[in-house]
Amino acid sequence: MPITVINGLKMNYEILRATDRGPEVPRETLVVIHGIVIDNLASYYLTIAPAIAASGIDVIMFDHRGHGKSEKIVSGYQLENIVDDLAKLLDQIHDGTPVHLAGNSYGGTVAYAFALSFPERIASLSSLEAEPPTQFWSDSIAHTFRQNDQEMNEVRTMDRVFTDYGQGGTKMLKNGRRMAAETKFFEELPYPQLVADDAIKDLQVPLLAIYGSESSLVAQEPKVRELVNDVKTVIFPGVGHSVLTDAPRLLERELIDWVLSHPVGSAQGQLLQAQS
């Protein structure tokens, strides 16, 4: 996997080029954003990314700073830094056309923040069991981290997720525990500058919000439908928070259909109309 330097840090990324794009399929790019602590781009690479690329959509994945094969740092894990990393990564490796964003869990929070900061760079947004970066989110995360629950919750989830991946999964788990113990991640992440209550009402791009019926976040679905003008919500029955690994076939189908039904040209037209 290639490495580039972003904001002085070595950043790992991967691009899966479309493998079945005929002349009738528009060129679209989906950027997928992973969760936190012991997650990395492999959670997409080993689940839904290949099928999405096979459908005719380019897929860009990257490891957040301090995660996966990206450079390990002690400090600098605020949300706005990750948003800036992504913006500069796309400057380097993408052709400048708008992309579709999909983020899982905390990756969805990053995706919301990016879409609010750079609406002109986004064709659509997909939130996978995720919340926008509001004050409520910040307070909830800070409370959870203070109780030292979040690390173990993530470890239990990802331990099960990566059981099937052998030594690779074991290595991911160890790296995540090491990061939690040796960095200021838990101190910095809950307090971003990009917190804006009700900011979701300002979204200028189409939103796909996916929830598991057994997740606590599904309670937010009615409010999201109320606040966002251009939104589709989907609830996967019998699925909890881990939609990426518990329902990959359902998820990839939803994302493929969503991206191909919101081509870049139509999204930019809607944005220009909203800004006029």
Residue 253 has pLDDT above 50, yes or no: yes
Q: Cα(115)–Cα(259) distance, rounded to whole angstroms?
A: 15
Classify residue 72 by its DSSP letter.
P
Letter string b/e over residues 35-52, b meaning 16 or more CB atoms within 10 A of that residue's CB:
bbbbbbbbbbbbbbbebb
pLDDT digits (tens, 9 = 90+) for 141-187: 776 666 644 444 555 444 443 444 444 556 656 666 777 788 888 78
Which region among 23-27, 31-35, 94-98, 203-207 has the lowest average model confidence (pLDDT)?
Answer: 23-27
| pLDDT mean over 5-28 | 86
| pLDDT given for residue 210 in this prediction | 98
Q: Could you tell me the two tokens for 220?
A: 């937010």
Q: How far apart are the first and last CA of the chain?
A: 42
pLDDT digits (tens, 9 = 90+) for 54-74: 999 999 999 999 998 999 999
Residue 28 has pLDDT above 90, yes or no: yes
**Side chain identity at 41, as an amino acid letter?**
L
pLDDT digits (tens, 9 = 90+) for 205-231: 999 999 999 998 999 999 899 889 899
CATH of domain 3-275: 3.40.50.1820
Share of the chain above pLDDT 70, in %: 80
Q: Cα(127)–Cα(116) distance, rounded to whole angstroms?
A: 13
